[in-house]
């Protein structure tokens, strides 16, 4: 894993000292809120509905046991004993007090973590495939590139005041678990003639105007990548609109100027940038790559095959929550934070410590946070799976629902978020509990439901197979449903099904939708998304709006 240098540590300590002084000046009245707000946002500190919120970056979702334990300590000492993992591979603390935040940042700094560029119109926390370095089908580990991008972008003087936030995601697998097509820049590592490079997508994004990224370049050699990215961001910084914040994202720049124009400008900008880099970035990349060397994998599966064969609960857990590892005696284990009725993405400090212990004892001291708000043990020897399962069960973390209907992404919504137009969390809780009661979840199979509490789409509803968007209709919560979205390699934005539903009607509507799928699917191997693609929206709309369907038939 990437190890901080003295330079990194000094940088953080200095930055935190600076913020500590700023907080003190706000409290003693020498800074107004207007002066202080941009300073606190530069350090990830928001003011939400009921309290402040501190957003901490977990770069490319990777952390070790010591870092996870520190996150737990912070939750206990300065928050309410839990944290919220987000779709951007961050953790958010919902209840910090202003005077404590400098101490929280120092505690993070002790384990090489921070909240820099988790807010503001800068290049945000770089996200990556949560199975990086572990997945069987991976072309290359995306994290060294992500770390290189992080080092280049952190406090980059040219890019601190972009027109709008800027998000970069990297995947090293054709499976694209990083939703690269929904980012300002999406990078997909590819191989050509034995050389590693990146396919560069640009102009994707969710929010108010959802768009799928377009291919700007199908192969950029690695040693050209940073200058190429710098050229893109520089072009956007100049060309992007600043007259209207809703039109300021690069997706609009690409849409309004056309991908050819953007490409021409990037190509024109690139040579000067390349000359300035001078190869220094590749020396840094080599050092970073060494830090990400794979652990020494141990051979053998112990009693795993026997347990798998004889214990149906364990088998179901393994079948649902593990993914093929590059080493045949290993598994990638996804630990669901979505026990039925739980708040998606929340983990208590005790749960964080259990996960840290398990990573340290059994799984090469590595953890990941996924954009689906779950926690992953990426390198778990199969021989330890049963012990890990038992420990997770004791901590309430053994729910076998990864990728199923109750594995819902939900943003904080109006239970926390100041921008929300409706709640998300209780809707997710009720849907999960309903399908648990119906015992239908495993029968239904892979199905992604994603919920956002406003058009900003932090809950990725546009790329949910079923997306739910909470709105305010004349002072009442109302939920719009989208269908057929997909965040995978061939990403698709879902289509609106029709009028929205009242708060107490949503779960019934989702149940009708899912039952309609069970009625019309060809066989159990045809997923909800496959069925939707085969039949289109009609049977699903009929299930959502039975009255209308009846009227049309009459």
Partner 1 sequence: MPRAFTPKVVTANALLEGDVVYLDAQGHWTRDHAKADLIEDQGTAEIRLLEAQAQAHEIVGAYLADAQAGPHGPEPIHFREAFRTRGPSNYAHGKQADGVTTE
Residues that bind ligand HEM (CB under 6 A): 46, 48, 53, 86-88, 92, 164, 167, 205-208, 249, 411-412, 417, 419, 456-460
Binding residue for partner 1, selected from 317, 416, 517, 545, defined by CB under 8 A: 416
> With respect to partner 1, which residue has the nearer C-beta, 204 or 470?
470
Residue 464 near residue 415, CB atoms below 8 Å: no
Determine the Cα–Cα distance for residues 487 and 142; give it in Å rounded to an integer.
18
Contacted by 87, from ligand HEM, partner 1, ligand SF4, none: CB < 5 to 8 Å by type: ligand HEM
Residue number with CB closer to ligand SF4 (197 or 453) = 453
**Residue 475 in the binding site for partner 1 (CB under 8 A):** yes
DSSP annotation of 211 reads B
Give the C-alpha separation, 135 to 537, whole Å: 34
Size of the site for partner 1 (CB under 8 A): 32
Using the contact rule CB under 6 A, the part of the chain among 38-46, 127-135, 234-242, 407-415 near ligand SF4 is 407-415
Structure-token pair, residue 248: 């300021």
β-bridge mates for residue 220, sequence order = 198
**Cα end-to-end distance, the chain, whole Å:** 65
Binding of partner 1 at residue 157 (CB under 8 A)?
no
- Distance in angstroms (rounded) separating the CA atoms of residues 229 and 70: 33
CA–CA gap between residue 397 and residue 439 (Å, rounded): 19
* Closest C-alpha to 97, from 85, 114, 111, 80: 80
What mask, x for binding ligand SF4 by CB under 6 A, covers residues 364 to 403?
A: ----------------------------------------
Return the structure tokens found at 138. Answer: 């991976």
**Helix orientation angle between 222-239 and 280-291, rounded to the nearest 10 degrees:** 110
91 binds ligand SF4 (CB under 6 A): no
| Residue 423 interface partner, choices partner 1, ligand HEM, ligand SF4, none, CB cut-off 5-8 Å depending on type | partner 1
Q: How would you label 430-448 residue by residue, b for 16+ Cβ within 10 Å and e otherwise? A: bbbebbbeeebbeebbebb
Minimum CB–partner distance for residue 408 and partner 1 (Å): 13
Helical ranges in 216-258 per DSSP H = 222-239, 250-257
Candidate list 128, 420, 483, 493; residue touching ligand SF4; CB under 6 A: 420
3-class state of residue 279 by DSSP? coil
Check residue 477 for interaction with partner 1 (CB under 8 A): yes
Q: Taking CB under 6 A as the criterion, which residues in 447-476 touch ligand SF4?
A: 452-454, 456-459
Q: For 114, phi and psi rounded to 5 degrees?
A: -160, 180
419 binds partner 1 (CB under 8 A): no
List binders of partner 1 among 30-69 (CB under 8 A).
Answer: 32-33, 47-52
What is the C-alpha to C-alpha distance for residues 335 and 394, in angstroms, rounded to an integer?
13
Q: Which of 184, 415, 441, 486 binds partner 1 (CB under 8 A)?
A: 415
Contact footprint for partner 1 (CB under 8 A): 26-27, 29, 32-33, 47-52, 80, 94-99, 343, 346, 414-416, 420, 423, 425-426, 429, 472, 475-477
Contact footprint for ligand SF4 (CB under 6 A): 411-413, 417, 419-420, 452-454, 456-459
């Amino acid at each position: 894993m990437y190890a901080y240098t003295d330079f990194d540590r000094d940088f953080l300590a200095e930055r935190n000292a600076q913020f500590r002084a700023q907080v003190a000046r706000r409290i003693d009245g020498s800074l107004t809120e207007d002066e202080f707000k941009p300073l606190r946002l530069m350090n990830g500190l928001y003011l939400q509905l009921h309290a402040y919120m501190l957003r901490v970056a977990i770069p490319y979702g990777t952390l070790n046991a010591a870092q996870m334990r520190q996150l737990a300590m912070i939750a206990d000492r300065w928050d309410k004993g839990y944290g919220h993992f987000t779709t951007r591979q961050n953790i958010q603390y919902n209840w910090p007090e202003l005077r404590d935040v400098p101490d929280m940042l120092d505690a993070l700094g002790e384990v090489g973590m921070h909240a820099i560029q988790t807010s503001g119109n800068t290049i945000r926390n770089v996200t990556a495939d949560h199975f990086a370095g572990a997945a069987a089908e991976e072309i290359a580990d995306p994290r060294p590139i992500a770390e290189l991008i992080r080092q280049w972008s952190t406090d980059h003087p040219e890019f601190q005041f972009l027109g709008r936030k800027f998000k970069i995601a990297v995947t090293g697998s054709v499976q694209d678990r990083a939703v690269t097509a929904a980012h300002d820049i999406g990078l997909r590592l590819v191989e050509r003639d034995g050389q590693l490079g990146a396919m560069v997508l640009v102009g994707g994004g969710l929010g108010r105007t959802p768009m799928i990224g377009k291919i700007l370049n199908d192969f950029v050699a690695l040693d050209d990548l940073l200058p190429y990215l710098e050229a893109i961001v520089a072009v956007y910084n100049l060309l992007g609109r600043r007259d209207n914040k809703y039109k300021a994202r690069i997706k609009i720049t690409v849409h309004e100027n056309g991908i050819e124009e953007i490409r021409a400008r990037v190509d024109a900008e690139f040579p000067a940038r390349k000359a300035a880099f001078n190869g220094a970035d590749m020396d840094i990349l080599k050092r970073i790559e060494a830090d990400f060397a794979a652990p020494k994998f141990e051979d053998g599966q112990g009693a795993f095959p026997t347990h798998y064969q004889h214990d149906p609960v364990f088998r179901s857990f393994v079948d649902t929550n593990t993914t093929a590892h590059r080493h045949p005696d290993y598994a990638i284990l996804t630990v669901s934070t979505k026990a039925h009725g739980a708040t998606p993405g929340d983990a208590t400090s005790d749960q964080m410590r259990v996960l840290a212990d398990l990573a340290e004892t059994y799984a090469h001291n590595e953890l990941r946070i996924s954009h689906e708000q779950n926690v992953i043990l990426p390198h778990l020897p199969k021989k330890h799976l049963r012990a890990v399962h038992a420990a997770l069960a004791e901590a309430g973390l053994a729910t076998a629902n990864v990728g199923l209907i109750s594995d819902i992404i939900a943003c904080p919504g109006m239970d926390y978020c100041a921008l929300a137009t409706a709640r998300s969390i209780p809707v997710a809780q009720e849907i999960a509990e309903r399908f648990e009661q119906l015992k239908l979840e495993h029968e239904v199979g892979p199905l992604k439901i994603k919920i956002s509490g406003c058009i900003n789409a932090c809950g990725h509803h546009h790329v949910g197979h079923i997306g739910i968007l909470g709105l305010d209709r004349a002072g009442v919560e109302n939920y719009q449903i989208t269908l057929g979205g997909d965040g995978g390699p061939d990403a698709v934005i879902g289509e609106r099904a029709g009028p929205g539903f009242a708060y107490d009607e949503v779960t019934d509507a989702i149940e009708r939708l899912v039952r309609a799928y069970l009625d019309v699917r060809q066989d159990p191997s045809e997923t909800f998304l496959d069925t939707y693609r085969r039949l289109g929206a009609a049977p699903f709309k009929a299930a959502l709006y039975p009255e209308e369907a009846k009227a049309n038939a009459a």
